[in-house]
Structures are given as structure tokens and as C-alpha cells.
Chains A and B, each alone.
Chain A
Amino acid sequence: MTPDTDPLLEVANLRTTFDTDGGELVAVDGIDFSIDAGETVCIVGESGSGKTVATESITRLVKSPPATVTGSVRFDGEDLLEASEERLREIRGYNIAHIFQNPQEAMNHCYSVGWQITEALTIHTDASQEEARAKAIDLLDRVGIANASSRFDDYPHEFSGGQKQRVMIAMALVGDPDLLIADEPTTALDVTVQGQILKLLDDLQEEFDMGILFVTHDLGVVAQIADRIVVMYAGKVMERGDVYDVFDRPAHPYTQQLLECLPGTSDSIGGIPGSLPSPTDPPDGCRFAPRCEHAVADCEAGGQPREVEVRPGQAVSCVYYQSGYDASVVEADTGDAETSRGVGDD
């Protein structure tokens, strides 16, 4: 790996809005994050957090119009938001690959799986038909499709859900990408299959030295694969940090409550009362204020609180961490959460 410290991908002030009949819908509202080569960053959020739109804005998979994407997305020194559609297609083919929750939507039902991979290979590399076929079989084999050469001519419907996701991963690897964006890739799968796919991604990450941007709502999955976490809520980043720090000492009230919502945690709180704010008319202050038990007057105005670093690499957007406030009010919960979730819990 090169010794330079520039991240592989650096997203700054990313804002994605949609023109709707009900007015401007702000799906992603000025977020920053970065991914280093070979690293796994998880964007965690519930529906309406903007996590999917954020990742689809990176290579502009979001359709524009109606979407407008602003800010900057620097990949290997190049600003993707400035790139032409042609250049983006190239990037999506070689450098940044996507996999999704529903592999069948990304596949063509009318062609065999082998044909689809071979096609991608001949477009993205200068392989001959024959080489492409051999390479496609090799890729299928590597993602764990048993008996790859005889499955080559099978159609997507002949594969199980887990196998389809494996095939999608094989397709994503065609251009030997530097970054894989995986949007809830295991959410639709059975839990025993989910484990296999997560393990596969882990192995491939090492083999291909890929950065992975993994989008999920599932904190169990996050704990298993993330190096770093970005917690999103209603289009904003609430908290970010190293996976151990965020799980051990979640600093933001939203992160804390999300962790306590998990079934099986000893003092599970029975949910977070209230619902997501309207994306066309978000609150003026902290997006979480309408549901936050700690909210004070300052939370309701002046935009999302500026991020404060609470320890190296862990930053939180909550007024209690700003000067003049007593952070221990919200941190107090953290202590509880930590002891209640310790190893060997029950």
C-alpha cells in the first residue's frame, strides 16, 4: 500500500435534494465522511436517514433531475461531482462497484449468469471471449458458487437468494474495483446465509484490497464488519468514530437509544417514541430534537450542532458536547449502556 495518507474517497458537504410536488425534499443534508484504502466504513441508519441516497450520490446513481447533488466527492484526487457521465460510467465499471439488497433487480433475467459476467468483462477489459469465459468461471468460483463451470449457463432464477448475491459480488469484482459500495446486501437473506456473505466480503476485501462502504440498519452486522461507523439520522450525521468507541461509549443520544433498542439487550427500552421529522420541513435545530429526551431550548434552533471530537476519531453532533454545557448529562447514559452490554451479558 502507498504510504500517502490521502483517503481513497473523501465526501465533503454532500447535499442531495429532490424536487417534489410537496417542495424541496432534503434527503442528505451536508454530510462529510471518508474511506481509506482497504477499510470498511459502515453508514448506519434507519429508513429516512438518507443513507442509501448518500451512497448513490457518490457515483451519481441517483437520477438527476429530480435529484440535485452538491458538495464534493473526491475519489483518488478527482471530484466525481464534476465528472462527465461518460467518465462516471468508466468509474462505475472499474473503480467503484455497487451491490444492492435485491440482486435480482440488478440482473438481467433473460441472459445466463455467465453471459452477463462475460459481457461485463469484455466491455471493461480487453479480454477475448475465451479468456473472459475462463475469468468469469474463476470469479464465480472465488465467490463460492460450487461447480462454477456447469452453473455458468444457468439463468438468475435458477440461483437461490444467497447465490444470487454471490453472483452480484462476482460481477462487482469484474473491474477489480478499489471501492465496493454495498447497500444492505444481506438484509433480504436468511441469517445463516448472511453470515456466509459477510465472511465472503471480508475475505475478498483482503484479496482485492478494496475499501468497502457498507450501508445497513443492522447494528449486529455493523459490529461484525465495520472498522469505522457513521451514524445518520434524517439526512445528517449524528456521530462517527471507530467501531469500538461507538459501541463502547456511544456519545450521541440517538446512537445510545438505537443500541438500547436491540432486542435482547438487558434493559431494552421499548423503542424510541415519536417518528422521523418531515424531509420537506425538517426541524431548525438538531434533527433528533423532537424525539430526544435531553433536548433543551438550544437544540431547537441554529441548525444541526457543530461536530465536536470527543476522542481521537470519534465526533458527535450534540449541543451537550459544546462549551458551556455539561456533557456528563448525556454521557451518564453511556456508562449504563456500557455495563449493560458487556461481554458475557447474561
Chain B
Amino acid sequence: MTEPLLSVRDLKKHYPIKKGLLNRQVGAARAVDGVSFDIAPGETLGLVGESGCGKSTVATSAIRLEEPTAGEVLFNGGDRRGATRNDDGTHPNDVTRFDKGELKAFRRDAQMIFQDPSSSFDPRMTVGATIAELLSIHGMTDRGRRRRIVEDLIERVDLSASDYDRYPHEFSGGQKQRLALARALVLDPDLIIADEPVSALDVSVKAEVLSLIDDLQAEFGLSLLFISHDMSVIREICDRVAVMYLGEIVELGPTEEVFHGPEHPYTEALLSSIPTPDPRATLDEIELTGTVPSPTDPPSGCRFHTRCHRVIQPEDMEMDQAEWRRLLTLRKRIESREVDVEQATENLALDDEPDDLSDEAIKSQLRSEFELEAPLDSATAEATLETALDRLVSGDADGAEEVLSSSFTTPCETTHPEFVDHDADHKSACLLHVDDRPDSRIGVENVPQ
């Protein structure tokens, strides 16, 4: 395999959480928690995930706008090709070890563009001068030459050379993003990291800027790390895509393969929630329960297990998957003492049966709130649930927790899934793929395309 342009290895970025008078560190938000990927020369890799998944932090720590906590970022661009590891195991191309001078050179070869292009321009300077400034910082003294290069680039992003002398406020959002592209290109980089570059743009403009990025990438032979929350934009522009959840990559593969046959349940859910512009499309969206957990205390085992619709069932029970999901959610809520018997009683009183506030009525109210119709498919599960609910309504939440935690278990909460290779270059981290489970083909049948 040819040498990747960028190779990120086990990258971590943890933000310390400090408390108290002594400002002691009490924990860490693990925004990026062991992320690895390669980008080949001329390739576009997409990084997709919901807000808070750490995708932007991957970018900022990979180019050291923030210092990463751990990991390697090997950049083989510029004149750094073909380097080998030092005797002590470190790598001369490791961005995380670059000194000031090396960092400056690296910042010429790797450029970043952001969602808000205004951040790249000084409102008091003409856009041409702002772009040309980069050339003079990097040593080009000939004024006329600087101007010619910048004018040429402004034309390449489909604006006119005379725009050189205009100010940022004179441009629309889409035009400013074009100018930000010109600015990113002026030093002839090998890598561009684009963080949500079209998310703030209107539909009609978004498509234009995307196709411009695509053209320029081919023309300049750029590698692109393209970060977006928008799956349809990713599909338009990326060769491969990495899906992130809570600081980790959960699936990585060629874009079309990932879209057609997602292997990780999270990818599957993400794809199913894209609204299709077709009023006849039935919404068989996979509903994810709950919200994204906090990165300070990520769930044990598979981080997605608190929301996963395919979370694995205990071996001694067999039931409808959706029912199992709801049981597990009930267990988690009881463990965190979030199930409110009083509230259930109140709801009961508000509804139509104010006279019957017996324990049985409260239990069935709780069951209906969690959509756990009696009896459950599995007799074992039914008996366990009843015992737990009895304890809960009699005020013994600890007892309820004990029963549930010992019976309603899943390997997903204890085992952290490693990557499993599917087809060439396509891998995902989900336990369903580990022991050749019969139900391990995910997604293929129910992802709308």
C-alpha cells in the first residue's frame, strides 16, 4: 500500500474537569478517545457523527490547534515523504512532537476551513490582502507576484479577479466560503481539513460549493478530511467515511458500502433518520432511546449500549428485540433512580382511574409508561419484571435494582467491541459481528436509500 498522507493513531483528547478550591482534577471529558484512521494522497475521508461525538476535536487536535492528550499524528506531506521510524520508536513525521519550526512548515501544508468563513477574514482588510498576507508570511516578497497568484486563485473559485479589492461584508455566505477555499489553497497545501464547510449555506449554494470543493480537490491533488453531521453531504463528496460516536470511531469504510450496507447499529440508525425528500417515503425510522451520554462518564462496554436498538439479549431469554430494549431502558432508569413511582401514581390519578391507586394499578401504569405489556414473551423475564416492580412500588428501589441488574444483562455493557473486518477496507466495532451471531447482518434490509 502506498504511504498514507495522514495517519492518525490512537488519538486522544481529554479535557480535565476540575473542582473545588484546590482546583483538583476530578475527572476528564473524553472528547476523543482512541481514534485511528489513514488518509491517502488525493483521498477524501468523511468524519460523521452527531454533535458532541468529538469529530471537530479530532481535527483541532490532529493539527494541534489544541494539544492532543495522547496518540500519534503522522503527516507525510511536503518534503516528509518516505521517512521511517527513529530508533526509539518515535516517528520524525509525528505532528504531536513537532517543534515550532516544524509546526510552521506543517501549517503551510495542512490547512483548515470552518463552518463560518468570516473567521478567516479580517473585516477591515480587503479579501485579497488577507489571502496575500499568507504568502508574505511564508516568505514571498514580490508584491506583484503575490497579487497575481491571489487573483488567479480567486478566479479559480469562480469569483472575479476584481473581487481582490473588496471587503468581506460585500460577499454573500457562499462567496465567502469560496474565498476561504482560495485562502486555504494559496500555500499549495497537501491536506485540507474542512469542518462543516457547507452546513450554514442555503441548499442552492451548498450544492455549488460542494462541487467546487470536489473539482479543486482533483485539480490540486489534495487530501481532504471532511467533517460533517450531514450524511447526505458526506455521501456526495467522500471516498470513505468514518462514523463517530462518543469519542470513538464505530465504523469505517468506503462511502457507498457504508451507505448501502451499514455494519454498525449506530450507522444504521443515523442513516435511517435522514429525511428523504419524498413525501411517500414511509418513516420506518429507527428510534434511538434517550440522549447521547456524557463523555465524562461514557457507558461501559460498548458506548452505544444505552441507546442501541440491537443490544444483545441474555442467552436464557428470548423476546422481541424492541421489548428487550425497553426492559433494559427500564433497568437503567431504575438504577439511576429515575423511575418515579409518585409521578406514576399522579399520572394515574390525572387519567381516568382516580379511585384505583392500588399497587397493581401503579405497576400497570409503570408498565404502560415503558410500553411493557403483560405478559412478556419470555416467562422468565415476566417473572423477574414482576418481582422488580413489586419491590419498586413497595418503596424498595435497591431491591428492584438488584433483581433487574442480575437478570437483565447484556454482553454489550461489559465487553468493549473491537473492530471486525468485513469486506476489504470496511470495518466496524460491534459485538454482533464477533461470535458469528446468526442475526449479525445488520441494516441491509431496512435502510432507506
**Contact A273 B208, CB 8 Å, known A160-B291, A217-B202:** yes
**Contact A271 B232, CB 8 Å, known A192-B273, A244-B279:** no
Contacts of B205 in A (CB 8 A): 46, 271-272, 275
Check if B206 sits within 8 Å of A195, measured CB to CB.
no
CA distance A341 to B279 in the complex (A): 11
Check if B343 sits within 8 Å of A261, measured CB to CB.
no
Name the one of B174, B235, B236 contacting A275, with C-beta atoms under 8 angstroms.
Answer: B174
Check if A150 sits within 8 Å of B340, measured CB to CB.
yes
Which residues of A are interface residues toward B (Cβ below 8 A)?
46-47, 134, 137-138, 141, 146-150, 160-163, 190-196, 198-199, 217-224, 226, 243-244, 247, 257-259, 261-265, 268-273, 275-276, 341, 343, 345-346
Contacts of B208 in A (CB 8 A): 270-273
CA distance A265 to B204 in the complex (A): 13
**Contact A192 B269, CB 8 Å, known A147-B338, A244-B280, A262-B277:** yes
Check if A271 sits within 8 Å of B204, measured CB to CB.
yes
How far does the Cβ of A302 sit from chain B's closest Cβ, in whole Å? 25
Check if B232 sits within 8 Å of A263, measured CB to CB.
yes
**Contact A223 B203, CB 8 Å, known A137-B343, A264-B235, A273-B208:** no
Contacts of A138 in B (CB 8 A): 347, 350
CA distance A341 to B231 in the complex (A): 18
How far does the Cβ of B213 sit from chain A's closest Cβ, in whole Å? 11
**Contact A191 B287, CB 8 Å, known A149-B343, A345-B449:** no
CA distance A346 to B339 in the complex (A): 45
In the complex, per-residue mask of B325-360: 1 if CB is within 8 Å of any chain A CB, else 0? 000000001000011101100110010000000000
Check if B274 sits within 8 Å of A220, measured CB to CB.
yes
How far does the Cβ of B257 sit from chain A's closest Cβ, in whole Å? 14
How far does the Cβ of B238 sit from chain A's closest Cβ, in whole Å? 11
Q: Which B229-288 residues sit within 8 Å CB-CB of chain A?
A: 229-233, 235-236, 269-270, 273-281, 283, 285, 287-288
CB of B23 within 8 Å of the partner chain: no
How far does the Cβ of B306 sit from chain A's closest Cβ, in whole Å? 13
Contacts of A222 in B (CB 8 A): 277
CB of B28 within 8 Å of the partner chain: no
Check if B338 sits within 8 Å of A257, measured CB to CB.
no
Check if B236 sits within 8 Å of A220, measured CB to CB.
no
Check if A263 sits within 8 Å of B210, measured CB to CB.
yes
Contacts of A190 in B (CB 8 A): 50-51, 229
Contacts of B218 in A (CB 8 A): none
Check if B278 sits within 8 Å of A223, measured CB to CB.
yes
Check if A226 sits within 8 Å of B338, measured CB to CB.
no
CB of B172 within 8 Å of the partner chain: yes
User: Closest chain A residue to B234 by CB distance?
Assistant: A263
16 A-B pairs within 8 Å (CB atoms) are namely: A134-B346, A146-B333, A147-B343, A149-B340, A163-B291, A191-B274, A192-B270, A193-B50, A195-B273, A195-B285, A220-B277, A223-B275, A224-B279, A244-B280, A265-B277, A345-B449
